[in-house]
Amino acid sequence: MLQGAGGAMMVPVGRLVVLRTTAKSDLVRAVAYLTWPALLAPVVAPVLGGVLSEYASWRWIFLVNVPLGLLAVVLARRLVPDVRADDAGRLDRTGFVLTALGVGALVVGMEALGSGEPRWAVAGLGLAAAAVLLAAAVRHLLRARARSSTCASCASPRSV
């Protein structure tokens, strides 16, 4: 689960760093460097996984990521500049929780629909909960945006 969460964040975070640090004239080349590993991985990974599971052990499929991850951390610390937003703001916990629960309910509802024998009650409850939670999240986030934009001229910054 930890590897999946880290892997899921690599592409969007990498793109943000490239967009913030690259001159517009070099942007296409920089995005190409970011894209090629993502295109190459689905070709190389199954072959490497097959070789590891055939000649070593299936556990090596997961363990091979440890040295690669450590190498990536070392290279990132050396090569990637420390680019942070001036004022990142605070985490909107209410918006985060509503969105996370809504997306989770959506996944549960869609999974129940897509199973071999659809579980209609679970699907209906999941999709209804998703609709309510995501609508509440959108409403909350729009209100938070409106509050923060009306307070842009305030002397003290408001946390949303």
Shared domain check, 24 and 47: yes
Q: What is the pLDDT along the chain (160 residues), one digit of tens a residue?
A: 777 777 777 778 878 888 888 888 988 998 888 888 878 888 988 898 899 888 988 888 888 878 888 998 898 889 888 777 777 778 899 999 999 999 999 999 999 988 878 788 999 999 999 999 999 999 999 998 888 777 655 545 544 4
Shared domain check, 75 and 20: yes
Tokens at residue 37, please?
């590993």
For residue 154, is it within any domain? Answer: no
Shared domain check, 98 and 75: no
Residue type present at position 130: A
Q: Which pLDDT does position 82 carry in this prediction?
A: 79
Q: Which pLDDT does position 70 carry in this prediction?
A: 92
For residue 136, is it within any domain? Answer: yes
For residue 2, is it within any domain? Answer: no
Up-side HSE of residue 63: CA atoms within 13 Å toward CB?
A: 7
CA Rg value for the chain: 22
Instruction: Judge contact between 123 and 112, C-beta under 8 A.
Output: yes
* Cα dihedral 109→111→113→116 (10° resolution): -160
For residue 55, is it within any domain? Answer: yes
Domain enclosing residue 104, as ranges: 93-148
Shared domain check, 102 and 71: no
For residue 66, is it within any domain? Answer: yes
For residue 86, is it within any domain? Answer: no
Q: Which pLDDT does position 134 carry in this prediction?
A: 97
Quote the number of domains for the chain.
2
